[in-house]
Structures are given as structure tokens and as C-alpha cells.
């Protein structure tokens, strides 16, 4: 979906990125940090996010937003809280990432801290952010 800005000039709807909360593990921190890097620094205007808890609570505005946007979900483990909550809210999941897959692909990086990102956690968040930015470009390009 694209929004008309002015004559002959259209603005495409941002891709929504939804990281899981992952409290108590570094996985959630990596997912959230990567999301903010993409929304704020790498692809501002092309990517947006919202708080997953709003979906869990059944917030109508949040549900409408995921249902009318292309959504990328990021989960820390196979329980897939982000994906499940977006699907349960009739959201449109078009791509999914798992932080555990990222750890498998980068075995030399071992984040240990859970309350903040240590050096390896930061490196993983940057790698994930680059992958997300690439996917956002692809999805925006495909949008009419």
C-alpha cells in the first residue's frame, strides 16, 4: 500500500518490525537493538515498530496496524512469541528472523550479559540490523 504525498510523489507504507520481548536473555536485547538501529538509523521512514505487548493485550489500533502492514517478526527462541502474537492478531507476517539462527551462523560470538548488550551482543545486533535493512528494501521495492 502506498500513500500519496503530493502530485506524482508517493510514500510507501513502512514495513513493521516486531521483536519479541525476551526478558532475561540476551536474545531479546539483540532483537530490540537491531530493530531500533533499522527504524532510527538505517531505514528511517521505511521501517517502523510497535510494542508487542499491545498486541498481547488486544489493543485495537495495534491490531489494525499489523493487519494492514507487511510485518517482519524477530524471535529469540522456538517459542516464537512475536510471530504467534502477530498471527493471532491477524497480522501479515512476510518474513521471520530468529536470534538463535544468528548465533548458529556466528559461533564465535557469545553474548553473556542479559541486562545490556556486551561487545559480542552489539556485533550480533549490527549483523541482524543489516539483514533486516536488506529485507526492508526488498519488501518496500515489492510494494505497489
Q: Nearest Cα to 22, choosing from 79, 106, 95?
A: 79
Which C-beta is closer to ligand SF4: that of 11 or that of 23? 23
Which C-beta is closer to ligand SF4: that of 84 or that of 137? 84
Where in 104-143 is the site for ligand SF4 (CB under 6 A)?
none
CB of 76 to ligand SF4, least distance (A): 3
CB of 75 to ligand SF4, least distance (A): 4
Do 97 and 105 contact (CB within 8 A), yes or no?
A: no
Do 55 and 80 contact (CB within 8 A), yes or no?
A: no
Which C-beta is closer to ligand SF4: that of 20 or that of 39? 20
**Residue whose beta carbon is closest to ligand SF4:** 76
Instruction: Please give the order of strands across the beta sheet that includes 71-75.
Output: 47-49, 15-19, 71-75, 93-98
Where in 43-82 is the site for ligand SF4 (CB under 6 A)?
75-77, 79-81
The reply on whether position 28 binds ligand SF4 by CB under 6 A is yes
Helix (H, G, I), strand (E, B) or coil at 121: helix
The sign of the CA dihedral 125, 108, 96, 131 is: positive
Question: Applying CB under 6 A, which residues contact ligand SF4?
Answer: 20-22, 25, 27-28, 75-77, 79-81
Amino acid at each position: 500500500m502506498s500513500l500519496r504525498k503530493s502530485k506524482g510523489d508517493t510514500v510507501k507504507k513502512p514495513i513493521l518490525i516486531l521483536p519479541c520481548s525476551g526478558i532475561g536473555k540476551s536474545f531479546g536485547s539483540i532483537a530490540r537493538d537491531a530493530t531500533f538501529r533499522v527504524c532510527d538509523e538505517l531505514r528511517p521512514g521505511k521501517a517502523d515498530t510497535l510494542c508487542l505487548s499491545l498486541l498481547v493485550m488486544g489493543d485495537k489500533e495495534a491490531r489494525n496496524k499489523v493487519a494492514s502492514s507487511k510485518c517482519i517478526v524477530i524471535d529469540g527462541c522456538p517459542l516464537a512469541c512475536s510471530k504467534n502474537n502477530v498471527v493471532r492478531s491477524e497480522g501479515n507476517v512476510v518474513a521471520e528472523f530468529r536470534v538463535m539462527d544468528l548465533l548458529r551462523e556466528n559461533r564465535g560470538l557469545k553474548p553473556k550479559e542479559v541486562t545490556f548488550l556486551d561487545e559480542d551482543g552489539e556485533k550480533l545486533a549490527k549483523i541482524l540490523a543489516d539483514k533486516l535493512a536488506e529485507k526492508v528494501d526488498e519488501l518496500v521495492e515489492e510494494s505497489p
